A and B are shown apart, each in its own frame.
Chain A
Amino acid sequence: MKKFLTLLLALVMALSIVGCGKTENQTDDKDTPDEGGEDVVSVAMTHEEFEAAELDSVVTVETYIQARQGWWEKDGVGVATFYTQADDGAYFLYNMPCTKEAYDSLLVEGAKLRVYGYKTEWQGEVEIIDATWEVLDGDTKTYEALDVTSLLGTDELIAHQNEKVAFKGMTVAASNDAGAPFLYNWDGSGSEGDDLYFNVTLNDTTYTFVVESYLCGPGTDVYEAVKGLNVGDVVDMEGFLYWYNGTNPHITSVVKAAA
């Protein structure tokens, strides 16, 4: 009897430990495309086909992660936003559902993904939303930034939307009437930890670039570099050619240009 009770108590303890364990958040895939058939899942589009696809249509692409914003939970579902690129173009994966574990170990810079989701456009930015993904093993790639300085202000620039790009030899201009070299948020209403907005000029035209805090927050080289800028500095920059009612690059690197 004593042995029976001992075994029973051990079983109860084991059950209680199981009951204390967390339930893994299930990714809600209600919005994700149906796995309707071979065409949707296995055949990736070229970037040209992606560009030609209608808005709100299902798209399948293969692409490499170049950078990622922080992971967070939206309505209890883990999501993150990824800047990705393939040989023929780039894709912005907005709020793609993923667990924290996957974000930490699988969805890393250089990883190759097959992604299928919906093509959409928000304020001029073409992106893929409500996506599902799989990592394609054995192949990783990061791209060099393409110098698009000469394309600024031209209609050709948008062809490189979401790509890793570089801007060289631009001059820091004042961001407000007080002569600030940068602002927290677009109008200075923010504080440490918020996005950094700064103006740079080329050929007498001023452009506003941003350090997206979810991508490169306080403590990163670029965040601290922008805080250290002075009006008149000539800088070389790299980033991703994000679009928001026009050119709005998310800058990941700022260095003062060689004299």
Chain B
Amino acid sequence: MMKKVRLPALLLALLSLLALCGCHGSRWQNAFSVPDSFDESRQYEITFWAKNDTNKTQVDIYNKAINDFQALYPNISVRLRLYTDYGKIYNDVITNIATNTTPNVCITYPDHIATYLTGANVVAPLDALFADEQYGLGGSALRYDGPAQAEMIPQFLEECSFSGSHYAVPFMRSTEACYVNKTYVEALGYQLPETLTWDFVWEVSDAAAAAKNADGTFAVNGQEVLLPFIYKSTDNMMIQMLRQKGAGYSTDSGEVQIFNDTTEELLYGIASHTAGGAFSTFKISGYPANFLNAGQCLFAVDSTAGATWMGSHAPLSDISADKYVDFETAVMTVPQFDPAHPQMISQGPSLCVFNKDDPQEVLASWLFAQYLLTNEVQIAYSQTEGYVPVTAKAQQSAVYQDYLAQEGADDKLHYDVKIKASKLLLDNVDNTFTSPVYNGSASLRNAAGQLIEDVTKSVRRKEPVDAAYMTRLYDNVTSLYRLDQRGAMAADGSQALGPLPAPAKALLVTLGGVWVLMAVYGGVQLVKKKNRQNSH
């Protein structure tokens, strides 16, 4: 009787174990492979989550691209969801991965994709799609004139390659620029060099902060407010400073190197200039453009994609017209430690395609994503800000070259500061770089910026910034961003998770111990039974 019960009980236990194993994680997805052909007899509805710079013209371009694409592919319908914040897209994608309701195509950053990839087969690798003779880059079956792979700007395309594959295509590219009130710099007795250096920017900023009128207003602008040097994205500030200095930030595999002597030296320098009133940040004081345009800032660092907000005649503005001050705006590279070898960040939106159960749906999504690389979309979108198209095909087109040539023709489409910003990137593509991408790289980036924000805030709060402060700062930032727990992304997409936590170790040891005891007990019972049998 007991033997009849034992086998079903064992089977039931085994089935329960298998069921429990299935409860712990997200739904498993098949790896994507390119279909032999696109099934044009079917209807597809795909979703596109797109980020814009709170810019209606960019939204209009997305809508036009969708309408034009749908006219070419009537069996593919594209639903657009708009965002103005990369972080929001990232959070929504993360939430939707767990329920397998990710969009089909999404504007993103490689840092974010690295986190999406922690789920198996969540993001479609694109190399096979690139190379497909029919539907790949410049493929023979495309209904539009898309760029061939050789027509993509190689540096921009390379930025989308990590963990052994391309997981995105670049959509637009920008860099950072320093927008300078040249009039005020010269009024202080300085001449702008060909390439800005950190020494120059600090010296002029310190001088501007120190020069006051008898009534306490600042001599350079006659106002009560002056923040000579304001930096929008302090994460970029730290990353670029470290890169220019050849100092550690992180390895490609995710080993954090940012907490080094160079970082500390840079932070002491920032603290010193902040104490003199020379420096502030967007998070502390506000948009650099608002201060620059009101004559309250000399060096405003922001993306080239913020160029339409910069300058005396900026077409876009957050301040009232009566606050504007007239001055000449210079558009220059971010400050450099070695002006003979400038280095600046490469940034800008990319496109990724999410994997789905139906490979035809993924192919339809890829066809739409690739459409966004056509000249019409690339040129139109790049003209909305200081972006550059990501294809040589668009950059070298007569339409785009004519656009560049008309710099300053008006203060809207051909606004000179905007086109100067685009030209700055075009002239410096070989001097751009990106920071390593791995699961956790976004957190390290945030940590880099936080170091500068904290030091600047502390100085403004008259807290001592000394060795003890730096030790606390490093510990706090490490803890806040969990930098001591981050792992690296392996080439196969698996993740090194780091050491097992102590409670987990204790549990496993206890479980193992129980099984040993059970085995010992079983063994003792067996021996007793045999002894009984032998004695009979």
A interface with B by C-beta (< 8 Å): 1, 5, 8-9, 11-12, 15-16, 18-19, 28, 30-31, 55-58, 75-77, 118, 120, 122-123, 185-191, 194, 244-246
Contact = CB atoms under 8 A, between A and B. Distances in A.
Interface string B142-184: 0000000000000000000000000000000000000000000
Contacts of B320: 245-246
Given A28-B479, A189-B52, 19 more contacts: A5-B514, A19-B504, A28-B480, A30-B480, A56-B460, A75-B446, A75-B480, A76-B480, A123-B286, A185-B54, A186-B54, A187-B54, A188-B59, A191-B82, A194-B82, A194-B84, A245-B290, A245-B319, A245-B323
Contact of B514 (A12, A58, A76): A12
B503 interface: yes
Contacts of A244: 318
B236 interface: no
B476 A75 contact: no
Interface in B88-104: none
B461 interface: yes
B251 interface: no
* Max count, chain A CB within 10 A of own CB: residue among B52, B59, B476: B59
A191 B84 CA distance: 10
Contact of B284 (A16, A120, A185): A120
Nearest to A129: B457
A189 B84 contact: yes
Contacts of B521: 1, 5
B42 interface: no
B518 interface: yes
A57 B461 contact: yes
B271 to A, nearest CB: 14
B397 interface: no
Nearest to B462: A56
A230 to B, nearest CB: 21
* Max count, chain A CB within 10 A of own CB: residue among B52, B55, B286: B286
B19 interface: no
A190 B319 contact: no
A222 B507 CA distance: 53
Given A16-B507, A187-B54, A191-B82, A8 B476 contact: no
A88 B233 CA distance: 37
A190 B287 contact: no
Contacts of B318: 123, 244-245
B481 interface: yes
A8 B517 contact: yes
A185 B84 CA distance: 9
Given A56-B457, A189-B59, A245-B320, A15 B506 contact: yes
Contact of B56 (A16, A19, A31, A187): A187
Interface residues of B, number: 41
Contacts of A118: 457, 461
A118 B446 CA distance: 22
Interface of B: 52, 54-56, 58-59, 81-82, 84, 284-287, 290, 318-320, 323, 446, 450, 454, 457, 460-462, 472, 476, 479-482, 503-504, 506-507, 510-511, 514, 517-518, 521
Contacts of B287: 123
Contacts of A188: 56, 59
A189 B480 contact: no
- 6 residue pairs, one from A and one from B, having the closest CB atoms: A123-B286, A56-B460, A30-B476, A189-B56, A187-B56, A189-B59
Given A1-B521, A122-B286, A56 B461 contact: yes
B290 A5 contact: no
Contact of A5 (B55, B461, B510, B518): B518
B510 A15 contact: yes
B460 A190 contact: no
Given A9-B514, A57-B461, A189-B52, A19 B507 contact: yes
* Max count, chain A CB within 10 A of own CB: residue among B461, B480, B482, B506: B461
A185 B511 CA distance: 57
Contacts of A12: 507, 510-511, 514
8 contacts: A16-B507, A28-B480, A56-B462, A57-B461, A75-B446, A123-B285, A187-B55, A189-B56
Nearest to A29: B476
A227 to B, nearest CB: 17
Contacts of A18: 503
Contacts of B457: 31, 56, 118
A11 B507 CA distance: 10
A107 to B, nearest CB: 22
A201 to B, nearest CB: 16
